[in-house]
A and B are shown apart, each in its own frame.
Chain A
Amino acid sequence: MSVSENRLAALEPPRASLREKLFTWGAWIALGLILAVSFRGAQIGDLYLLGKNSSNTQAYLQDYLHPDFSSWGTIRLYIDKMWATLEMAIWGTLISVLLAVPFALLSSANLAPQWIVFPVRRLMDILRSVNELVIATAFLVAVGPGALAGVLALALHNTGVLAKLFSEAVEAVDNAPIEGVRATGGTRLHEIVWAVIPQVGPLWTSFALYRFEANARSATVLGIIGAGGIGQILFDNINSFNYARVSAIAIVIVVAVTLIDIASSAIRKRLL
C-alpha cells in the first residue's frame, strides 16, 4: 500500500454527533405522538361514513348536476348579488390599502424609531389575528346587517395583513437612493415619497391585488353571516334545500373568483 493510499484510508467522512441523532429521533417521535393524540378528536376513524351514506350523497349530487340557470331573472339575480359581493371586496381592499400605507411606514424599522415600530407592529398583529368573520359580527351590531359591516370587517383585518406585507417590502429597499434624496437637502417625507415609494410601488400594488383576490372569496363568506351579496342567497338556498340553485351560485362564484385571479395575476406579472 502506497503512502497516499494510506492517507486516503485515514480520511473520515463527517458523521452526525449523538446529540444530532437524538434530536432527529426526538422530532420524529414527537410528530407521531401529536398525530396519534389528535386522531380521535379529528374523527379520522369515521372516514368509512363516506361510503356508508353514499345514497344520500348521490341524491344531493344529483341536484348539483342540474344547476338552476332556468330563467334570465335568476341569472340576473346571481350576477347582481355577485357584483354586490365584489363591491364589498373593492371597498374593503381600498380602505385597507389607505390605512396600511401609514401604518406600514410607521412599523418599518428603517424609517421609524423603535418606540413607534414596536407598538404599531403589535397593533397590526392584533388586527391580523382576528378573523374577518369575528370582526364582522361586531360591525353587524354597530351598523346593522348589510354590506358596510362586511366592508369595515375586510378593511380592518386587511389593514393588519397589508401593513405587515408593505413594511417588509419597505425594510428591503435599497438605501442608496434614500441617501441620494437626503443628500440633496430633502426632508424625511421627501425621502419616503421620492425614494421609498418608487421602490416599493410595484410590490405594494401586487400585494393589494393579491389581497383583493382573497377578499372576493372572504366577502362571499361574510354574506352568510349577514353582510348581503352572493353569500346571503347561497346560504338561504342551502337552508331551503334548493341544491340546484346552490350549485348554480357556486358556479357563478367559481367563475367570478377565477376571472379575478387571472386578471389580477396578469396585472401583477406585468408590474414586477
Chain B
Amino acid sequence: MCGEWAGAASVTVAKAMKLRQDSRSSVLTRAGWANPPMSSLVEVQSVSKTYVQKAQGHKPSRPFKALDGVSFSMTRPERIGLIGPSGSGKSTLLRSLSGLIVAEVGHVKVLDKTVQSAGRLGEDVREARATMGMIAQQFNLVGRLSLFTNAALGLLGRINPWRGFFGLWNADEKQRVMAALDHVGIAERAGQRANTLSGGQQQRGAIARAIVQDAKLILADEPVASLDPVSARRVMELLVEVNERQKVGVIVTLHQVDYARKYCDRILALKAGKIVYDGPANALGLEQLKDIYGSEIESAYWGEI
C-alpha cells in the first residue's frame, strides 16, 4: 500500500516539474550570486531550549523544556520534514536555526557560519540569515507593501545597508525580483499589496523572497497549515522544485504526516523536545507514528497509511 501511494506522489511531482520547466526563467541563473564553497548546510549540536511558564493562580512557575539536546545535520540539499505533536518543539527548533530564538545550550551552524552558540547569537548571524529564506504560517509578508517590495526585501542581507534602508534597488536587482516572482507564478501581481493576495499567493511570495535572497536553505514553519488543499499542494510542489532545481535545502514543519511523507525525503520527528525519528520518509511506518503521536494516530490516519 505504501509503495502504491509513493508512486502516485512522484507522478504528481513530475507533472509539476514539467509545468515549471516551460515557465522557468534563465535570468535567475545569470544574475545569481557566486556560490560559496560549503561543507555542511546545517549543523545542529545538542541544542536545548527551556521556557519558563509564568505562575498562574496556584500553579507555581515551572520550566518547560521545548528542546532537549537536539542534534542533526544536513550535508546536502535535502527536504527535511519536521513532524511531531503540538508543543513538541518543531517551531522552536526551526526558529532557532535562523536565530530568531536563542537556545541556552548547544550550537547552530548554517553554511559554516555560526548562527548561535551557547546562548548567544553568532558574530556573523546576519550573513547566515542572508543565506536562509523564512516562510511562516502566519504569512510574514508586510501587508501594506507591494508584493514586489516584499520580494525585494530578500536583497536586504546582500546589499549596502543604506541602499536597503532607502529601497534603492538597481535595475539588475529589480529584474531579479521580477524573475523570482515569475518563477513562483505570480509576476502579474507584483504591484499588488501583499494583504490583498490569497494565503497561497502570499506563501509563494515568501518563496520568491527566498529565491531573491539566493537562499541556500529555506525554513518553512507550517507553510500550508492555513491553506486549502489545492494551494497547499502548489506551495509544497514549489518547495520541491526549488530544492531539486536550485539545490536549496528545505526544512519544513508540518502537521500533516501525509504531506511530510509525500513531499520530503527525510523526516525528523520530535516528541517532548527530543528527536525520536530521523530517517528516510519512506521508512516511516505506523509503528513509528504510534510512537510519535500516540496510538490514536491509527484511527486518525486509517485508510491513508
Distance in angstroms from B248 CB to nearest chain A CB is 15
- The answer to whether residues A184 and B134 also contact, given A189-B161, A190-B161 and a CB cut-off of 8 A, is yes
Q: Is the CB of B140 within 8 A of A180?
A: yes
Distance in angstroms from B127 CB to nearest chain A CB is 7
B297 at the interface (CB under 8 A from A): no
- A177-209 vs B, CB cutoff 8 Å, 1 = contact: the mask equals 101111111110110011100110110000000
Q: Which 5 A-B pairs have the closest CB atoms?
A: A185-B157, A185-B130, A180-B140, A183-B134, A186-B156
B141 at the interface (CB under 8 A from A): yes
The residue on A at minimum CB distance from B138 is A176
B274 at the interface (CB under 8 A from A): no
Residues from chain A with a CB closer than 8 A to the CB of B154 are 184
Distance in angstroms from A200 CB to nearest chain B CB is 10
A77→B142 CA distance, assembly (Å):
50
A186→B134 CA distance, assembly (Å):
13
The residue on B at minimum CB distance from A196 is B142
- The answer to whether residues A190 and B98 also contact, given A180-B136, A198-B144, A198-B145 and a CB cut-off of 8 A, is no
| Interface SS, B side | mixed
Residues from chain A with a CB closer than 8 A to the CB of B136 are 176, 179-180
Partner of A184, one of B144, B149, B156: B156
**B contact set with A: CB distance below 8 Å:** 98, 100, 126-134, 136, 138-145, 149, 153-158, 161, 164-165, 167, 206, 209, 213, 219
Q: Is the CB of A180 within 8 A of B142?
A: yes
Q: Is the CB of B132 within 8 A of A183?
A: yes
A195→B156 CA distance, assembly (Å):
12
Partner of B156, one of A177, A190, A201, A202: A190
Q: Give 11 CB contacts A-B under 8 Å.
A: A176-B140, A179-B136, A183-B133, A183-B140, A183-B219, A184-B134, A185-B158, A186-B156, A186-B157, A194-B156, A199-B142
- The answer to whether residues A194 and B142 also contact, given A179-B100, A184-B209 and a CB cut-off of 8 A, is yes
A221→B83 CA distance, assembly (Å):
66
A100→B174 CA distance, assembly (Å):
34
Residues from chain A with a CB closer than 8 A to the CB of B98 are 183
A199→B157 CA distance, assembly (Å):
21
**A contact set with B: CB distance below 8 Å:** 174, 176-177, 179-187, 189-190, 193-195, 198-199, 201-202
Partner of B153, one of A174, A179, A194: A194
A179→B133 CA distance, assembly (Å):
11
The residue on A at minimum CB distance from B152 is A194
- The answer to whether residues A181 and B156 also contact, given A190-B164, A190-B165 and a CB cut-off of 8 A, is yes
- The answer to whether residues A177 and B143 also contact, given A183-B98, A183-B100, A186-B157 and a CB cut-off of 8 A, is yes
Residues from chain B with a CB closer than 8 A to the CB of A181 are 142, 153, 156
Residues from chain A with a CB closer than 8 A to the CB of B157 are 184-186
- The answer to whether residues A201 and B144 also contact, given A179-B100, A184-B134 and a CB cut-off of 8 A, is yes
The residue on B at minimum CB distance from A194 is B153
A177→B140 CA distance, assembly (Å):
4
A189→B167 CA distance, assembly (Å):
12
Residues from chain B with a CB closer than 8 A to the CB of A194 are 142, 145, 149, 153, 156, 167
Additional A-B contact list (19), CB under 8 Å, known A183-B140, A185-B128, A189-B165? A174-B138, A176-B136, A177-B143, A180-B134, A180-B140, A183-B132, A184-B133, A184-B134, A185-B131, A185-B156, A186-B164, A187-B126, A187-B164, A190-B153, A190-B165, A194-B142, A194-B167, A195-B142, A198-B143
Distance in angstroms from B152 CB to nearest chain A CB is 10
Q: Is the CB of B127 within 8 A of A185?
A: yes
Residues from chain A with a CB closer than 8 A to the CB of B142 are 177, 180-181, 194-195, 198-199
Distance in angstroms from A184 CB to nearest chain B CB is 5
A180→B133 CA distance, assembly (Å):
9
Distance in angstroms from B49 CB to nearest chain A CB is 17
- The answer to whether residues A179 and B140 also contact, given A186-B156, A187-B161, A194-B156 and a CB cut-off of 8 A, is yes
A181→B213 CA distance, assembly (Å):
11
Residues from chain A with a CB closer than 8 A to the CB of B138 are 174, 176
Q: Is the CB of A182 within 8 A of B129?
A: yes
